[in-house]
Structure 1
């Protein structure tokens, strides 16, 4: 096997859709929890940024191979 083939296989293993979609969905869910919690203004302040990062991550990850 050539080095290029090993690199391609290694990258394909890291850039699979399933695990990264779960991370993006967990980030979105965490942002929603941060949005509705009544305890910390700091968490509330970063909730929109967290939801936005999760949504953008999900859009990018949706283009990854199965």
Structure 2
């Protein structure tokens, strides 16, 4: 039981998931500001929203 808890603590570390959420937000902002593809502009808000929600959730993970 202790090994499972330790494994879960290793997987759900705040640093990794917050960085991933931040990168997702930055990708969404890039998609919003690029002038090349309309499909990227169309999905940019969803990507930013998912990144923001992910950041809020992961800010409650243990250090």
Normalised TM-score (structure 1): 0.95
Larger Rg computed on CA atoms: 1
For structure 2, which runs of at least 5 residues remain unmatched after alignment? none
Does residue 1:35 correspond to 2:28, yes or no? no
Task: Show structure 1 runs of 4+ deviating over 3 A.
Answer: none
CA-based RMSD: 0.2
Q: Match of 2:7?
A: 10
Normalised TM-score (structure 2): 0.99
The total of aligned residue pairs comes to 63
1:34-56 Cα deviation digits (max 9, x unpaired) = 00000000000000000000000
For structure 1, which runs of at least 5 residues remain unmatched after alignment? none
